[in-house]
Structure 1
Amino acid sequence: MAARLEGTPCWADAMFTDLEGAKAFYGDVLGWTFSESSSEFGNYTQAYSDGKAVAAVVPPMPGQETQSAWCLYFASPDAAATADRIRANGGEVLMGPLQVGDFGTMVIGKDPGGVAFGVWQAGRHEGFEKQGAPGSYTWAEVLTRDPGKADSFFPAVFPFSVKRMDTDQVDFKIFHVHGAPVLGRMKMGPDDLPPDVPSYVSVYFAVDDCDATVARATERGGTLHFGPMDSPFGRFAAIGDPQGAAFGVIDLGKTSGDLPVMADA
């Protein structure tokens, strides 16, 4: 596999106190299967769709139990240099650079507005083996209450160019790598989510039927945050799993309406 371009989303994982519960939920909702947990690396457990690695789940380290959340990782050829840019541009490095055996090197950071994300310098583990198809990662958006900070921070840390959606209805921008869209940025309004919900990266997984996926998720203890909703990109919804980790699902084959006009930011 060719090395991923710097700034391209390359992996996603989440921490769960109830690891077996998470495996059961995502297995039922997204059709994932799971590898044996790796005790050498804190019981890190990879998820698979059609036999290809698509994500991972892991229990928290003792004393670090926090709200479950999905973390999106961006590819970097030099995790230490990326960590330096995170700090230099007002962000915070929460972990790393940490070499994970011969799999690669990781960093966990936050932007100045509190958005947590990961950085991955690939070794033997190159990231997603399946992407943009049902059961796998397909898109992500930074949902932030401080868009100005995100807009200055992310293009300074990664080689992003920026375009904005040409509309007055929503404050939305898209970050690109070499002309390809890789990440959305949407301003969270006061009525979008409860005020105690922090800014975060919303990770979307592709599904073959959004409504059926939502039904499976809610039947198994998940919470529907919004949707299902039609869009030019697909029919999508936002869900919280039983342990509180939020994620999106989207049926890319069911589109509605014209694609929005994008303008230079």
Structure 2
Amino acid sequence: MTLRDTPWPDGTPCWVDLMVPDPRMAMDFYGALLGWQFTDQGDESDNYLMCSVDGRAVAGLGGSPAGEDAPAVWTTYLATSDLDRTAAAVTDAGGTLLVPPVDVMAHGRMAVAADPVGAAFGLWQAGGHIGARLTDTPSSVLWNECMVRDFDTARDFYAAVFGYGFDDMSDDQYTYATMLVDGRPVGGLGLLPDDVPADVPPHWMVYFGVPDTDAAVAEVDRLGGRVLADPTDTPYGRYSMVTDNQGVSFSLLSVTAEPELTAAT
């Protein structure tokens, strides 16, 4: 369990949010599945919702912009202390800015980008909002990973933009590496397996912690979601990929809450 009260280091996944056609449906789903509490940020924020656990923000939720054909998706935001410099680095390295840098009142500054192989992600420069204040525990984010069809191009891009090191975990069955910031793993980069349908785009995947993956999967089904990958044991916990009740995919991974909070450094 990790507590955070200061901005996350550059390149670290620091926030996730979901923009969907029906936020009320999403509140019903994630509130029941993950036990989140919701705080409306007001009309000036288009009623964006902070999702929290024990008073600590873990994710965001909002309504899809009217008139825009944006897909409903969980977006992973990578921390930056200089948004303009990072946005320039994105384009210099062959990426695309989907939403250019913009101020979000006093909360911070954001942009949305796509890497050269098509995976979209957010950038966040902290102001009053640093991002997630609680991670690595049930009901919070455990892991973020980028799954692509051109591993080498994606690796070179993220190394150029964020200065990541990589710890290669590949074997004969899969291609995968962890992204390192100052030697610490902060996320993953993997090659989509050949059996993944061609219409599945490159993407960043969000993993949420649950105490019991099988029970959580049963709850997903009860709440109107769908199971994409049945629960499976991994060296890191019991895993499943699912969708919510509006078809947005995410992953679940078992984790046991630690008895004491650990302050992040």
Fold shared, TM-score > 0.5 on shorter chain: yes
1:222/1:240 contact within 8 Å kept = yes
Deviations 1:195-233 (A, max 9, x none): 211110000011111111111011111111113111111
1:155 CA drift (Å): 0.9
Say yes or no: does 1:213 pair with 2:246.
no
Aligned-partner residue type, residue 186 of structure 1 = G
1:253 CA drift (Å): 4.1
Deviations 1:155-178 (A, max 9, x none): 111121012114211111111001
The Cα RMSD (Å) is 1.3
1:111/1:149 contact within 8 Å kept = no
Q: Which residue of 2 aligns with 1:97?
A: 101
1:67/1:245 contact within 8 Å kept = no
Q: Which residue of 2 aligns with 1:16?
A: 20
Aligned-partner residue type, residue 52 of structure 2 = Y
Alignment of 1:53-72 (within 5 A): 53-72=57-76
Q: Which residue of 2 aligns with 1:262?
A: none
1:37 CA drift (Å): 4.4
Q: Which residue of 1 aligns with 2:125?
A: 121
2:137/2:256 contact within 8 Å kept = no
Q: 2:207 aligns with which of 204, 218, 234?
A: 204
Gaps of 5+ in 1: 255-265
Aligned-partner residue type, residue 246 of structure 2 = Q
In 2: Cα distance, 1:253 partner to 1:62 partner:
40
Q: Which residue of 1 aligns with 2:150?
A: 146
Q: Extract structure 1 runs of 4+ deviating beyond 4 A.
A: none
1:67/1:244 contact within 8 Å kept = no
Q: 2:36 aligns with which of 6, 11, 32?
A: 32
2:6/2:130 contact within 8 Å kept = no
Q: Which residue of 1 aligns with 2:191?
A: 187
In 1: Cα distance, 2:14 partner to 2:248 partner:
19
Deviations 1:102-135 (A, max 9, x none): 1000010000111000110000001111100001
In 1: Cα distance, 2:211 partner to 2:223 partner:
18
In 1: Cα distance, 2:222 partner to 2:21 partner:
21
The percentage of aligned residue pairs carrying the same residue is 37
1:155/1:161 contact within 8 Å kept = yes
Under a length normalisation based on structure 1, what TM-score does the superposition of the two structures give?
A: 0.92
